[in-house]
Amino acid sequence: MNTDTIIHPKLHHLGMTTGNLAALADWYRKVLGMTVVHQTESAAGGQKNAPKARAAWVSNDDANHRLAFVELPGLAADPDRSQHHRLQHFAFEYRNIDDLLGTYARLKALGIVPVMCADEGAQTAFYYEDPDRNSVEINVDNYGSGLTSAEYMRTSAEFAKSPLGVFVDPDKMIVARETGTSPWDLHMRARAGEFAPAQPYDLRVML
């Protein structure tokens, strides 16, 4: 038994409370391909004095679950999230830029659009809000390697100056990609401001 060194466990799943389990499960199915592994009308089972709670465990890979939704009676939306402690966002990574842009186009056709899109140097990231207004990021590593992009974040004066990078319009990126722009050149052109949106995003939706 190791009692001396810090073990580095992998993040396995997130748990979220909600007032609308069905809408949340449907959104994550459409956006991230999450399927319900198990759902119950009584998450606490027969335990005494436990609140009545519905729950669903969902996954989009071989893990038994990646997200757990617990629906509690009486929950309401927070009218002023910016003034309260909260989980700011969580993220899912795609293998390449084509998967990211293709997902953007698929979701746009379903009426699901991001609230902010940026090339952040180490990654290109699109941010969405789920039905409970949780911020969900989908991204791709611009360097194709976590080790390389981490070195960029550690040593880049450019990143230190502007960690949120430059705003991008995914539709403009798709046009460039479809005309033969390589993933790296797409990243460099984004950094140069070629894919800037017509209107800047409102950072208050993220902060």
Q: For the segment 167-201, what is each residue's pLDDT rounded down to a tens digit?
A: 999 999 999 999 999 999 999 999 999 999 999 99
As a whole number of angstroms, the distance between CA 122 and CA 28 comes to: 25
Q: Is 28 left (phi over 0), alpha (psi -120 to 50) or beta?
A: alpha
Q: For the segment 14-57, what is each residue's pLDDT rounded down to a tens digit?
A: 999 999 999 999 999 999 999 999 999 876 666 666 667 889 99
Residue 83 clears pLDDT 80, i.e. is over it: no
Side by side, which strands form the sheet with 116-119?
A: 90-94, 135-141, 123-129, 116-119, 166-167
Closest CA to 125 of 134, 133, 135: 135
Q: SS3 of 56, please?
A: strand
Q: SS3 of 111, please?
A: coil
pLDDT value of position 47: 66
Closest CA to 36 of 64, 71, 73, 14: 64
Cut 0.85: pTM above it? yes
User: Higher model confidence: residue 204 or residue 60?
Assistant: 60
Q: Is 68 left (phi over 0), alpha (psi -120 to 50) or beta?
A: beta
Domains of the chain: residue spans and CATH: 14-71 (3.10.180.10), 87-205 (3.30.720.110)
Tokens representing residue 44 in the block:
């606490």
Tokens representing residue 22 in the block:
């069905």
- CB neighbours of residue 79 within 10 Å: 7
As a whole number of angstroms, the distance between CA 144 and CA 138 comes to: 15
The pLDDT mean for the chain works out to: 92
